[in-house]
């Protein structure tokens, strides 16, 4: 891996986690000068820069060594971790801290006419999701055979379109499910924003910067608890 003397944090450019993430970084003493395209923000006080990207890209950026830390939903991190595990590999990233914001859950939700009693009610069903690895893993643990239909977005309309019998998606306020007349029946995962890091220590000055940053972050998180 290339040696670098500045740390790079990846965070969601826009979305549910971006504002609280920026707030947490500011409270941890990080200040950034925003560039014109606003994708790369130069760190002014600390040797720590910020890269604003799509949340789904964050684990990959850490895996490639392009970024050293990331603020991302546990759901995204675990999904990509499971992809490695299902290939018989070890994921090159890990969850370092839970950050206490962006709480949501990965849940199964069914149309009103669907009779759900327990996971065995799902046998032979088609389930639409953007989290195929997490869903397959859960189904396997429940010993239930169902078809996983992978969609990258608008999962909640899949039952109406006849593409699936039910869905497995993130639920925060529940407004999306209500708007699509879907009823939540089971929780697969409790999620929130987390700090992601490489699975192995960095072998240059960056590890010292990470350690110092984590110490400050822990102080901020403790005040919040």
Structure tokens at 59: 């684990």
Q: Which does 175 bind (CB under 5 to 8 A by kind): Zn ion, ligand PRP, none?
A: ligand PRP
Residues that contact ligand PRP, how many (by CB under 6 A): 11
Contact string 145-184 vs ligand PRP (x = CB under 6 A)? --------x--x------------xxxxxxxx--------
Run of H or E residues at 188: strand 182-191
CB of 199 to ligand PRP, least distance (A): 24
Structure tokens at 160: 């109406």
CB of 1 to ligand PRP, least distance (A): 29
Q: Report helix, strand or coil for 95.
A: strand
CB of 153 to Zn ion, least distance (A): 8
Q: Which is nearer to ligand PRP, 79 or 156 (CB)?
A: 156
> Rounded CA gap, 143 and 126, in Å?
16
CB of 197 to Zn ion, least distance (A): 20
- Best CA proximity match to 181, nearest among 109, 124, 131: 109
- Best CA proximity match to 68, nearest among 78, 83, 76, 58: 58
In the complex, the residues that contact Zn ion under the rule CB under 5 A are 55-56
């Amino acid at each position: 891996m290339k040696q670098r003397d500045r740390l790079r944090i990846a965070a969601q450019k826009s979305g549910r986690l971006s504002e609280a993430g920026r707030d947490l970084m500011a409270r941890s003493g990080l200040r950034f000068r925003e560039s014109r395209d606003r994708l790369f923000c130069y760190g002014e006080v600390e040797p720590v820069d910020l890269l604003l990207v799509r949340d789904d890209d964050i684990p990959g950026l850490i895996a490639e060594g392009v970024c050293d830390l990331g603020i991302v939903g546990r759901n995204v991190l675990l999904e990509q971790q499971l992809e490695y595990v299902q290939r018989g590999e070890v994921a090159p990233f890990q969850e370092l801290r839970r950050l206490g914001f962006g709480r949501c859950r990965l849940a199964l939700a069914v149309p009103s006419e669907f009779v759900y009693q327990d996971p065995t009610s799902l046998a032979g069903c088609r389930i639409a999701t953007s989290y195929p690895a997490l869903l397959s893993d859960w189904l396997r643990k429940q010993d239930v055979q169902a078809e996983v239909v992978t969609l990258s977005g608008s999962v909640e309309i899949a039952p109406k379109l006849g593409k699936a019998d039910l869905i497995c998606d993130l639920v925060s306020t529940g407004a999306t499910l209500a708007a699509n007349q879907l009823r939540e029946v089971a929780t697969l995962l409790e999620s929130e924003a987390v700090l992601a890091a490489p699975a192995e220590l960095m072998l240059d000055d960056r590890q010292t910067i990470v350690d110092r940053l984590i110490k400050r972050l822990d102080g901020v998180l403790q005040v919040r608890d």
